[in-house]
């Protein structure tokens, strides 16, 4: 027998992606060029990276609204390190290493704060991460006084725009993160525990899963991913603007996760799905813009897409 | 002994509110002066309205993240209609908010999608529509009609007798003058809160709201109209956001498609501070008003501190303070509800 629901659940995103590509090949001029591919890939990278962290959080039945603000914190702090603004650095490479490591770790620490609120006080994840969603961007703005920090450090910028084998370096970063986290989610004990917590927290606790530690870790990972994405954004722009880095990212990331087929209630998750989901969302936006639809209208379409994806999820569950 | 005496969260908020007001009055010149009070009330009435709608939604155990962009959307609609007069602007803006609320309600009750996803999507769609309608810029309102009176006017100023402002008219005249110079948007908000409190306390719908929040399944089994109740609270929240949008356009003279960022947080914070449980089932309309006022007063005090030069806080500190505030409140609420269970 052909199970239609199961088919869509498994291949729905891929199918949508293929249809979008075919549509674009037929309609959009100059679609099948390497430039189009590069543009779309670089725009989707940060969404996928943040989406990976978000997938893990959602897999435990949580949500992380603070990702965009954590990106802003990491992005705003990094130039202070490699330009030697905070403390003198011996040479540029040490500065860059610190400017990469510290902001990512700091974003991770803020992620741990989210985890602390969720586990220690049993505060709903929406509200707990709302705290840093508001305060996080404020922290980034306060630490830079809201000023735009422009820099010209090609060595640092290569993490976004450098190319390896003709592919932008940030795409490689994205692929590594996707592959590693897909492996962790599906093949390791920790991955099983993540899904167990999301599937049935009480049962997971009774069967000895360290629920608190698992939740702590997923918010930590989400923070780290946001930090990486924040650095990529500033490396791409060769400037850090605390007001803009990662603005609205929580929506894009959640949308990618949901469209990719991860259950919002937790317990079932797919990292590759999130990658495909982000590609679908990016491609829809590209298709609309390339065919002369204004950007705000693309927002409305994205909203419809999110609702449609969640609704389809519900149908197959029912 | 004080046995059996419990300090309710709303009482605590009111106490803090009074203490902060006294502190402000003692520390700053003009803090409780007519001008400052009117300004604070005029500005914060928008947030108070949004918080009222949010309070209804949270009482049912839901959440409405779309209020900010719905207000922005309504402000654009109202600004476009303002050349036709006060009423078209008001009704149009309100209708825009109600429409957004209706869409939220339909997605949540008919498609059975989680409130925070549904309202997140509406947030995107409303802000996209606002930008489209406004052509990516703010839309100035017409000053030829009475539309700007809604946000900038003082409702009772026409009945202000001259002797109130006379030299040495005494304290009673001062109080009367104070009341008569109460800003119009504050009257709108006050009326909405009185209506909201009556609805919650004295109507079947109000009972249903709290019952649904207390236990959706139990309410369904008891035969309460669960879906209709949930439907209505999102329409109410949309309507309140719409009204706030009308006031926004009228007060600042322009429909602003990118305003409203972070309003949902302000509203949620006010509701939670006011003692309404985030899990639903228990809440206080008066507490929400006190919570909204408290947030407003905290920012006013920060502004005054800035003015005195003791501290120098940029506008960016606002969001940090707002976040810290929310943090303190949710942690306290979590601790209190744990104690209540124990």
Name the H helices within B86-139. Answer: 86-109, 115-134
Domains (range + CATH), chain B: 9-341 (1.10.3470)
Given a cut of 90, whether residue A156 has pLDDT beyond it is no
Encode pLDDT of B280-294 as tens digits.
Answer: 888 889 889 988 988
Mutate to test the interface with A, among B125, B132, B279, B331 (most CBs of A within 10 A): B125
Please give the pLDDT value at position B6: 53
The answer to which of A128-137, B292-301, B303-312 has the lowest mean pLDDT is: B303-312
Chain A residue closest to B263 (CA)? A134
For residue B139 the two structure tokens come to 């839309």
CB B268 within 8 A of CB B54: yes
Mean pLDDT of the A91-101 span: 80
Q: Between A and B, how many CB-CB pairs are < 8 A?
A: 127
Chain B residue closest to A265 (CA)? B114
CA dist A186 and A269 (Å) reads 9
Mean pLDDT of the B216-242 span: 92
Task: Name the pTM for this structure.
Answer: 0.84
Q: What does the CA dihedral A245, A309, A298, B69 come to, rounded to 10 degrees?
A: -70
Residue B145: pLDDT band by 50, 70, 90 thresholds?
confident
CA dist B317 and B304 (Å) reads 14
Q: Contact B117/A306, CB-based, under 8 Å?
A: yes
Q: For residue B270, give how far its alpha carbon lies from the nearest alpha carbon of chain A (Å).
A: 13
Encode pLDDT of B182-191 as tens digits.
Answer: 888 888 999 9
Q: Beta-carbon neighbour count of residue B279 at 10 Å?
A: 13
Given a cut of 50, whether residue B2 has pLDDT beyond it is no
Chain A contact for B278 (CB, 8 A cutoff) = yes
CB A79 within 8 A of CB A148: no
Encode pLDDT of A15-48 as tens digits.
Answer: 888 888 888 777 777 777 777 788 888 889 999 9
The answer to which of A268-277, B174-183, B218-227, B230-239 has the lowest mean pLDDT is: B174-183
Q: Which of A264, A294, A306 sits opposite B132 (nearest CB)?
A: A294
Please give the pLDDT value at position A183: 92
pLDDT top residue among B67 and A28 = B67
The answer to which of A157-161, A301-305, B115-119 has the lowest mean pLDDT is: A157-161
Please give the pLDDT value at position A261: 82
Q: Which residue has the tokens 């899990």?
A: B279
A contact set with B (CB within 8 A): 63, 117, 121-124, 126-128, 130-139, 141-142, 145-146, 251, 254, 258, 264, 294-300, 302-304, 306-307, 310-311, 314
CA dist B269 and A193 (Å) reads 33
Residue B3: pLDDT band by 50, 70, 90 thresholds?
very low
Please give the pLDDT value at position B150: 78
So what's the ipTM on this one? 0.77
Name the H helices within chain B. Answer: 9-27, 34-59, 67-81, 86-109, 115-134, 149-152, 171-180, 184-202, 204-214, 216-221, 226-252, 263-273, 285-308, 317-341
Q: For residue B222, give how far its alpha carbon lies from the nearest alpha carbon of chain A (Å).
A: 24
Where in chain A are the domains?
A: 35-317
Given a cut of 70, whether residue B7 has pLDDT beyond it is no
CA dist A238 and B20 (Å) reads 45
Q: Which CATH number does A35-317 carry? A: 1.10.3470
For residue A277 the two structure tokens come to 């989901």
Q: Contact A310/B314, CB-based, under 8 Å?
A: no
Chain A contact for B136 (CB, 8 A cutoff) = yes
């Amino acid at each position: 027998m052909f199970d239609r629901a199961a088919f869509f659940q498994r291949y729905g995103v891929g199918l949508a992606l293929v249809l979008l590509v075919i549509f674009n090949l037929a309609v959009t001029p100059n679609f099948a060029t390497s430039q189009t591919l590069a543009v779309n890939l670089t725009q989707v990278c940060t969404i996928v990276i943040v989406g990976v962290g978000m997938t893990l959080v959602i897999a435990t039945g949580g949500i992380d609204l603070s990702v965009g603000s954590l990106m802003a914190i990491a992005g705003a702090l990094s130039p202070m390190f490699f330009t030697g603004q905070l403390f003198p650095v011996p040479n540029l490479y040490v500065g860059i290493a610190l400017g990469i490591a510290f902001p990512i770790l700091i974003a991770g620490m803020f992620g741990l704060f989210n985890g602390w609120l969720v586990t220690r006080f049993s505060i709903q994840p929406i509200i707990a991460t709302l705290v840093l969603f508001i305060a996080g961007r404020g922290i980034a703005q306060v630490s830079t006084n809201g000023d735009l920090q422009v820099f010209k450090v090609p060595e640092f910028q290569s993490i976004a725009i450098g190319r390896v084998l003709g592919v932008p370096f940030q795409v490689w970063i994205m692929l590594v993160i996707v592959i590693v986290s897909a492996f962790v989610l599906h093949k390791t004990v920790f991955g099983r525990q993540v899904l167990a917590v999301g599937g049935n927290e009480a049962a997971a606790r009774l069967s000895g899963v360290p629920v608190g530690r698992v939740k702590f870790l997923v918010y930590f990972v989400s923070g780290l991913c946001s930090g990486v994405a924040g650095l990529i954004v500033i490396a791409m722009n060769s400037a850090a603007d605390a007001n803009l880095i990662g603005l609205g990212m929580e929506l894009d990331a959640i949308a990618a996760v949901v469209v990719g087929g991860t259950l919002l209630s937790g317990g079932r998750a797919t990292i590759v799905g999130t990658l495909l989901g982000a590609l679908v969302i990016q491609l829809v936006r590209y298709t609309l813009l390339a065919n002369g639809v204004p950007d705000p209208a693309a927002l409305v379409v994205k909203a419809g897409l999110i609702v449609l994806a969640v609704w389809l999820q519900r149908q197959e569950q029912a | 002994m004080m046995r059996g005496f419990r300090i309710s969260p709303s009482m605590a908020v009111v106490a803090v509110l009074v203490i902060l007001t006294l502190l402000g009055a003692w520390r700053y010149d003009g803090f409780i002066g007519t001008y400052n009070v009117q300004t604070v009330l005029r500005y914060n009435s928008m947030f108070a309205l949004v918080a009222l709608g949010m309070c209804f939604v949270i009482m049912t155990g839901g959440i409405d993240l779309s209020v900010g962009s719905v207000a922005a959307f309504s402000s654009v609609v109202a600004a476009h209609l303002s050349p036709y007069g006060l009423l078209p602007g008001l009704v149009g803006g309100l209708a825009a908010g109600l429409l957004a609320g209706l869409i939220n309600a339909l997605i949540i009750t008919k498609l059975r999608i989680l409130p925070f996803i549904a309202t997140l999507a509406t947030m995107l769609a409303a802000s996209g529509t606002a930008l489209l309608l406004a052509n990516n810029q703010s839309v100035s309102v017409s000053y030829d009609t009475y539309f700007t009176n809604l946000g900038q006017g003082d409702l009772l100023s026409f009945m202000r007798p001259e002797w109130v402002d006379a030299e040495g008219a005494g304290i009673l005249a001062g109080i009367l003058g104070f009341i008569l110079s109460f800003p119009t948007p504050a009257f709108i908000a006050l009326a909405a809160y009185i209506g909201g409190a009556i609805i919650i306390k004295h109507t079947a719908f109000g009972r249903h709201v709290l019952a649904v929040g207390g236990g959706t399944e139990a309410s369904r089994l008891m035969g309460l109209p669960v879906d209709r109740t949930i439907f209505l609270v999102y329409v109410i929240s949309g309507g309140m956001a719409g009204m706030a949008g009308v006031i926004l356009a009228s007060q600042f003279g322009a429909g602003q498609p990118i305003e409203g960022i972070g309003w949902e947080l302000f509203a949620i914070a006010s509701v939670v501070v006011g003692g309404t449980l985030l899990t639903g089932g228990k809440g206080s309309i008066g507490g929400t008003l006190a919570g909204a006022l408290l947030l407003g007063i905290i920012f006013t005090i920060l502004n005054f501190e800035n003015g005195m030069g003791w501290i120098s806080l940029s506008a960016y500190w606002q969001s940090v303070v707002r976040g810290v505030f929310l943090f303190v409140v949710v942690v306290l609420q979590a601790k209190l509800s744990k104690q209540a269970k124990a």
